[in-house]
Amino acid sequence: MDKHYYLISQLPMLFFDQISFMTVESFLKEAEKWLNPRDYQKLLKIDINATSLEKRGQRVWRKYQAFEFRFRSALAAWRKSLREGEEIKPDFPLSMVKEGNPLEVEKKLLRWRWDFIEEMEREHHFDLEFLILYFLKLQILHRLSQFRKEKGMEKFHKVVSDVLLRAKSEKGTSDPDDKSAKEKV
């Protein structure tokens, strides 16, 4: 426990949507130096994308998982109600999912998670649970850093060209307007 103070005191503050931050890898490397093996293994199990609920483990992790499970369940129920033609009132702000393009919606959902983590963070300062919350925030920042317009356009063009190539190969050379088929003849 006493080494938690040293590790936590050297961690930079994190702010939602900041451009530069400590990488997940460098955080884990630093944590491995300061934490005992048991605490380090607990930290390694933390994954913001985990969807199963654990009955054991750190209290803040179980609390976060319960929050995530409730949120995803409410979102799924709301989407199902829309498909069935009757909109239910979920326990999260509808503006998060109704307003904006998919990227803006994803950022709002990440912000919703961030705010929940920050609320829990107020109760923890120099303990393993603080490090777990910090690690969750780092994972959110890492996810946000993946949203780059250039990368997105690159992936989009690759997907479109793959689909067009697949459609072309399924079509065969029977299409009289297919210039590549004419060139092969």
Complete DSSP assignment for 99-144: SS-HHHHHHHHHHHHHHHHHHHHTT-SSSHHHHHHHHHHHHHHHHH
Q: What is the DSSP letter of 11?
A: S
pLDDT tens digits, one per residue of 144-179 = 998 877 777 788 788 888 888 888 888 775 455 555
Beta strands in 12-129 (DSSP E): none
The CA distance from 84 to 134, in Å, is: 40
pTM for this model (two decimals)? 0.78
Contact 138, 21 (CB under 8 A): yes
* Weakest mean pLDDT among 115-119, 140-144, 178-182: 178-182
- Judged against a pLDDT cut of 90, whether residue 3 lies above it is answered with no
What pLDDT was estimated at residue 173? 52
Q: What is the mean pLDDT of residues 80-94?
A: 90
Whether the pLDDT of residue 43 is over 70: the answer is yes
